[in-house]
Amino acid sequence: MKAEDLRDGLGFSIAEIAAGWSDKTGRFTDFVRHGRSRNKQTAIYVSSTDPWHRSSDLDPKVEQPGFDLLRDSGMIGSAKVMMSVPALYDTPENVGALAQWLSASRYPLSSFEIGEEPDGQSADADHFGKAYLNMAKAIRATFPAILIGGPSFQTIEENFSQFPKPGNQWLRQFRDFLESRSASGDFQFCTFEWYPFDDVADDPLDQLLEANSLLEQNLKRLNGQGMKDLPWMITEYGFSAFGAKAEVELPGALFNFDCAMLSLQLGAQTAYLYGYEPNELINEVGKEWGNNMLFLRSDDGIVELPTYWAAKMLTTKLCAPKGNHALIRTSGNTKQVGCYAVLRPDGKLCIALINRVANASEVHLSTSAKVKGWTSWSYSSARYHWQPAGEGGHPVKNLPPVRGILQANTLRLPPLSITVLQAN
């Protein structure tokens, strides 16, 4: 098929390539395994993506929110923004221009993330390091003291041993490269995305029970590979990187609540949920339809999904809208039932209980604080039912969390539920 844009048809056709080292005598040793099948030939990765755009590329039916719209919308509030910029598919000049505009606009910034999934791009650690430092230099010209980090790993479920350079794991190689350039100060925090489940045809309830231990195990490995002394953040998270029915049902909502709270317990500085804007169902694997989103965009308007109600319970019932919160250590957690406790800046003790199974669970509360009773909010499978219908899937029952009063310290958690308690 003929490309509509000339640039999509430009490039090079290479019959064979050799790569290796020459010794002092000029003798060349080829490190590439040559073969006629993918099992015999050394893997070779290429890219032809460039940051090109013209006025004629503008699609009037698509609105891409700008940095100014985000700032002026009120979504930021009193917080500061971590600005993400590419390392591989952009230019230092473009990133430098962005930094200048942000400075002139007095944009509320906390830091810059230089990333773009180097593991998913199979980027060599040294090569990525060179691109990373070029972007850092462009940022430092305008913001000499701002925090800079990355690299926004696509996943931390792999050890990245398949990358071209042998030796240490990728993150350790990357840090060694920065140290060799006396540039360790430009890598001040580590970031990654967390979408643990690729096989969306598996039972989501089984996956939900494994999610927390997966995050803990992979963090342990990442710390061993060079992250241990660095602050870290999850800059995107969701049930899966692919569209899945679980994402528009209770398992996805419970996963997101768990991920936000567990990551903080494990030491994260912050975790960013993916999917704030209204969106539509997508089909990427098998017959699964879903999406990581808070709101479903439909012909009938905007529909709240379980992830929205879970996020609202976390941010308005468990936590206060602003101020410093203290996480309180809890005990008695199991795979089936999780517990998180928070002391809010308004002095309220709040507890979140997550029932991850399709059966009711009985819980007995014991606290050192004097509690006269609890105000409760509960959201469960009894409040929501999804009707699968391909791209026309939709909720047929969609009720908000129910409020109640609890006088005793024993309660029965509904199946697949989030219960938030505020001490009276």
pLDDT(214) > 50: yes
Task: Kindly report the average pLDDT of the chain as a whole number.
Answer: 90
The distance of Cα 53 from the centroid of its chain, to the nearest Å, equals 27
Cα distance between residue 8 and residue 187, in whole Å = 35
Cα distance between residue 71 and residue 66, in whole Å = 9
Residue 16 identity: E
- Predicted pLDDT of residue 262: 97
Q: Which tens digit of pLDDT belongs to each residue from 312-326?
A: 999 999 999 888 999
pLDDT(163) > 60: no
For 326-423, CATH gives 2.60.40.1180
Q: How many CB atoms lie within 10 A of CB 325?
A: 16
DSSP three-state, residue 160: coil
pLDDT(115) > 60: yes
pTM score over 0.95: no
- pLDDT tier at 123, thresholds 50, 70, 90: confident
Cβ neighbors of 401 (< 8 A, separation 6 or more) are 309, 312, 313, 317, 377, 378, 379, 383, 418, 420
The domain ranges of the chain are 71-318, 326-423
CA dihedral of 104, 108, 113, 116, whole degrees rounded to 10: -80
Please determine whether the domains at 71-318 and 326-423 fall in the same fold group of CATH. no
- The mean pLDDT of 193-211, rounded to a whole number, is 95
In the chain, pLDDT over 70 holds for what percent of residues?
Answer: 93
Closest C-alpha among 298, 301, 312, 309 to residue 387: 298
- Predicted pLDDT of residue 412: 95
The domain made up of 71-318 is a member of CATH 3.20.20.80: yes
- Long-range CB pairs of 299-307, under 8 A, 24+ apart, other chains included: 302/278, 303/394, 303/395, 303/398, 304/398, 304/400, 305/248, 305/253, 305/395, 306/248, 306/249, 306/250, 306/252, 306/253, 306/379, 306/384, 307/247, 307/252, 307/253, 307/256, 307/273, 307/275
Q: How far is CA 34 from CA 21, 162, 170, 231, in A?
A: 16, 18, 25, 43
- Predicted pLDDT of residue 1: 44
